[in-house]
Amino acid sequence: MNLQGNGNNHNHRPTFGDESDTFITFRENSDYERITGLKPKPEGELSEEDTERAEKLKQAIAQENSSAYEDLDDFVYKQNKKRHRSTGGRHHRHKRTSPSVLSPSHHRRRSPSSKHKHKHHFHRHHHHRKRMKRWQKVSIGIVAFLLALIIAGAATLFIMVNMGKNKLTDTTGFNIDVPKVASSAGNGDIITYKGQKYKYNSNITSILCMGIDKDNLSTIDGQVGTGGDADSLFVITMDLSSGKTKLINISRDLMTDIGIYSTSGGYVGEKRAQICLAYAYGDGKHTSCHNELVSVRRLLYNVPINNYLSLDLQGIGPINDSIGGVTVVSPETIDQFEKGKKYTLHGSLATAFVRSRSHATIEGNNLRMERQKLYLESFGSSLVNLTKSNLTTPVGIYNTATPYICTNIDASEVSFLAVNAIQGNYGEFEIVNVPGKMKRGEPYNEFIVNEKKLFELFLDVYYLPVSE
C-alpha cells in the first residue's frame, strides 16, 4: 500500500498504490491463525462455527480500518490547516486525487465527470464529529467503574444493615421467667401485672457492657478465677423504633447465682456470689464475657441479651485522651478529687476517677457508680459534639479502643447502629440503676436487689402497655 501526500491540497485526499481502498486486508488463513492462535482447517473442511468466526474477524478488521481512516482524517486536516495559515489564507486550485479515505463513504468512487464544488476556506471535513480521545474513554470507564462500586457498596450496606437489625432483635428461644407477682402468656410475650397487660417490645435490642479489672484473682470454694472482675456493668437498651436509649447500671456487688469453672475450664456448678465474679471464671475474653452474660440475663428474667462488649480499664486513659479529655465535677471527695470541684480529666487521672472507690463505707461502690455515670454522660456529650464537626471521630476512638476490647458485635450490627446514628434515630437517653441497697456481708459487701422495683423497671424498659 502506497500512501501519497499532496502538498497544499485542501481536499487532502491521499492516494493508494493498490486497488484495495483499505489499510488492513483480511487474509483468511494467516489472519485466522494470527488472531485466534489456531491453525485453519483445509479448504472445504471449515465447520459452520469456523466460518462464523472468520466472518467476525473480517468485521473486526473492518472496524480497525474505520478507526484508522478517522485518525488519518484528523492528522491530514491538522497538517493542511497549518499550511493554510502559513499561506495567509490565499486561494489556490485543488488537484483531483484518488477516492477519499476521509469520508465515511470512502468506498464510493468519484465519477471523472463530477464537478468539484468549493466554498472558500470551508470544507465538509471541518464539520466531522471528533473521535473520543483515549484519555476521555479511560475517564468515562473509571467513572462507570466507581459508580458500579458505589451501587454495589450501597447494596452491600443495605444487606448488612438489615442483617444487623435482624441479629440485634433476635428473640430465638424467647422465654421470660416471670416472677410470682405477675402472670404471662406466650412465654412472656404478654405479661399481666397489677391488672395491667404489657406486650414485649420486639424493637428493643440490648448490649451488655463491662469494664474489666484484671489486677485481682478471685477464689470461691477453692476454685480460682483468673479472668479478672467486671468492676463496671451496665446494659444498654435501645428502642430501634422510637430512638429511646436507657442504660441499666448494675452494681458489681449485686448478689446472684453465677457459674463457677475450674482453671482448666470444667464446669463446677453455680454459687451465689457477687455478679462481678462471673467474669473471673473464664479465659478473660469470650468465655468470661459469656459467663457474665448468663448471670445478667438471669437477673433480668431471661430477657434476650445476645451482644456483649468488655473493656479493659487500662484502656480508659487512651480512649479518654482520643477525644481531648473529659470535664466533670466530682460528686465526692476521694483520693486527689474534691467534692464540687471541676476537673478536665486526662490519662491516668481519668482512670482514677472511674476506678477509685472508698472501702471505709459500704456505699463506696454506689458512690463510684455515680462518678462513672457522670463520666459517661460527659464523655457522650463530648463525643457527639466532636462527631458533628468531624465524622471520623468514632473511627479514631474505635482504633484506639480495639486493643482493649472483646466483643461479639459483628460488622453488620455495627453498620446498622452507625446508619441509625447518622440518621439521628437515637434521641432520649437515660441512665437508671438497678434498685436495691448495700449491706455488710461475709467476706464482702453485698448489694441486695429490690425485686418488686426491679420488675417494674424491667417492664418499663422492655414492654409496652396494652390498651384493653
Q: Please, which pLDDT band fits residue 376 given cuts at 50, 70 and 90? A: confident
Instruction: Please tell me the distance from the alpha carbon of residue 77 to that of residue 11, in angstroms, as a whole number.
Output: 9
For residues 365 and 373, what is the distance between their CA atoms, to the nearest angstrom?
A: 12
Residue type, 340: G
3-state secondary structure 161-175: HHHHHHHHCCCCCCC
Nearest alpha-carbon partner for 279 in 227, 232, 350: 227
What is the maximal distance between C-alpha atoms in the chain? Answer: 122
With CA atoms as reference, report the closest residue to 213 among 332, 354, 347. Answer: 354
Q: Which of 333, 299, 235, 303 is nearest to 436 (CA)?
A: 299
Q: Are 234 and 206 a contacting pair, CB within 8 Å? A: no
Predicted pLDDT of residue 19: 39
* Range name among 64-73, 189-198, 419-428 with the lowest pLDDT average: 64-73
What DSSP state is assigned to residue 118?
-
* Other Cβ atoms within 10 Å of 234 Cβ, number: 24
> What span, in angstroms and rounded, lies between the C-alpha atoms of 233 and 212?
9
Nearest one of 204, 206, 264, 256 to 230, comparing CA atoms? 256
Above 70 in pLDDT, residue 62? no
Structural domain spans, the chain? 1-85, 169-465
Summary mean pLDDT of the chain: 76
Fill in the DSSP letter of residue 240. Answer: T
- Element housing 211 (H / E): strand 204-213
pLDDT, mean of residues 377-399: 80
Contacts of 207 (CB under 8 A, 6+ apart): 235, 236, 305, 307, 308, 309, 409
pLDDT at 156: 53
Please determine, for residue 412, whether its predicted confidence score (pLDDT) is greater than 70: yes
Beta bridge partner(s), residue 433? 249
Answer with the residue of higher pLDDT: 430 or 190. 190
388 or 86, greater pLDDT:
388
Contact 50, 137 (CB under 8 A): no
**Cα dihedral 341/344/347/348 (nearest 10):** 0
Q: Does the pLDDT value for residue 183 go beyond 80? A: yes
pLDDT for 133 equals 58
Stated pTM of the model: 0.62
Mean of pLDDT values over 157-161:
57
169-465 homologous superfamily: LCP protein (3.40.630.190)
Using CA atoms, how far residue 97 sits from 2, 15, 101, 111, 275, in Å, is: 14, 7, 11, 12, 100
Mean pLDDT of 246-270: 88
The percent of residues in the chain predicted with pLDDT above 90, rounded, is: 34
DSSP 8-state class, residue 423:
T
Q: Stretch 413-419: mean pLDDT, rounded?
A: 72
pLDDT at 25: 45
428, with CB counted inside 10 A (0-12, 13-18, 19+), is exposed
**Beta carbons of 76 and 102 less than 8 angstroms apart:** yes
Which is nearest to 416 in space by CA: 177, 207, 188, 240?
A: 240
CA distance 294 to 282: 13
pLDDT of amino acid 360:
77
Helix-strand-coil split of the chain, %, nearest 5: 40, 20, 40
Which set of grid coordinates corresponds to residue 135? 484519555
Q: d(Cα 414, Cα 294) in Å, to the nearest integer?
A: 23
